[in-house]
Structure 1
Amino acid sequence: MPDLDDLLPSRAAFIRARGELEAANGVKWLTEFDERVRFRLYAAYDQSYMSGHYGTSNLVNNALGSFVSDQSQMRLSHSSADGAFRNEVEPSSTDELLDWLAAIPIVLERFAAEYNGTQSDEEYGFTHNLNPKRFAGLANDVLLEARIGYTFINNRLKPRSDEPLFLAVVEPVEALLTSNSRFAAVETAYQQAQSSIASGQYGAAITSAGSALQTTLEALGASGSNLGALFANARSRGFLMGHDAKLLESYKSLVDWATADRSNRGTAHGAATAQRADADMTLHVVAALIIRLIKHAELQEYTAAPKSVPNVE
């Protein structure tokens, strides 16, 4: 979870309340964009103008409007991104908003490829400077925090269900954690990691992912003050085998690599400068480990349980 001390009181209260709701009922992925989400997505679009000069924004807005008008198969209620995202009187339908949202990085990429570095204003010497990837990253943060069932993959808007890791890892781990109150603490830590990623707190997300793995082992009955001790105890209890030690080694190597990678970017405080890719990868690896641990433990519990013998008379 992001550091709530860094958030405005209203947002901190919202995140706390949603965390409690999701802990009780699980994560619900939405398809509707409320007013706040639409405004925040438009702000992400606005921030893709790295130069901040109106000459760039006017040209891009015109190009975006032309592209959507030409390519969309819908009868549009708005002719500009500003209207599509921020008109409170006549808000866009979900389908129309998805067209506008999907079009933004496509138009930004084409504009950047042709005009970035060229002069946008002869009098003042401003140059065009757009960053399409910045928009997709900011938009993904908004979509994740709002639990919207869409995400940008390689700058293209896709349903989350189209993402292989979503189907193979995210949905299964959420189903496992939600279905059993035994894993309530694990679910809380996992959701904290998701919320931290959505809020740009990538170092905190990696820390919460580690907490989710640790609380999984504890929920399964292992005891110990750190992951190494927990894995050792889990092996002694029989729900991990000797060769499973490589799971711990792999996870430690991942964290060591991520820390070293971040530290090489110019700071000794690696976790504070974590990148989104580091946090995403760590959380997906931890989710896969959680699934593996729970499924294996359940199998061990099943095989160890006494089997009833029917009476045959």
Structure 2
Amino acid sequence: MPHSFTGSTRVLMADGTTKAIDRVRVGDEITNSVPGATGTQAHKVTAVMSRAGARWPFLRLACWLFTHRQLSLFCQPLSGARVLVMGTAFWNTDDCEGSPMDWRFDGILTAQIRRMDRAQRHQAVFFALRRLQAPLTDIPMPEEWGVDPTALAVLLRQGAAQLNGEPNDAFQQALDRFSEAPLFESEVDPQLPENFQLEAISGWMLASEALGEMSEAQTDALVVRTRELADYLDVYLRDTLTVVPGEEERERYLGNVAEPLRAYNAGYFATRNLEVEGRCHEGILTAADGPDLLASATGRELLDLCDNYSRELAAVLSAVPRD
């Protein structure tokens, strides 16, 4: 996948010049290759977001393609370990600490995705995004973002309405309406809960781009995204020595967790997300309901699992002290 970054910290602008990524501002025009298109096309930066993760801090530029009117995400790592372009991950394994039981690289975790057809991969993506839903619905967004709650509700409803991997005009229309919020014309300085909200929103946008193809790589990238956010919260709580309600229950869960989850040596949210993810993928592969999975008893059980995890995630995010 070609990308517009020249060197480790510079972005190719539409006029042919380059600019350090931390100097890119809303309204700038950058250029990048677009999958399936010849040459490069211009993108207008509509938001600049930063995330200081424990292992991979990076800046994110949200850009509207002038020709396709789709939101694409460009991430430049400050550590040099990872580059995300058009929602696809490229890993520099020389900088990483992968091991046979590292969930970031373990092929065992993607084996189920490789067994899925397109509709099943769409369902896996939906459940991954469902596990991020409560931060969107249960935590108030900043007023200056101007997000219409009705538009958000329609987006989430349409995102669950047709899980067959095919393009969905109603979902795209809901996404277009949601994207009219001032958020998409602003620079933002998010707190921890807002980081999760932005990641969930961009996840839905990446899912929209994947419809019609929903490849193994696209599915894996979106599923891994939810894993990374779970680990990010664990690391944040650990490194900041933040104590939130439910600490004893979470420690008890980790003390009782069985193999193979124990072997990943992850924190509570990363481990719990992996457990729910595994049950979702198993249910998807064994269900006979096809695209109508959510209407079945199995689908409802998986929804409950994801929602319970998501509500716990939102509760902890809400309890974290703000700066």
Superposed pair shares fold, TM > 0.5: no
Structure 1 or 2, whichever has the larger Rg, is 1
Normalized per residue, which structure has more strand? 2
Please state which structure has a larger fraction of its residues in helix: 1
> TM-score normalised to the size of structure 2?
0.29
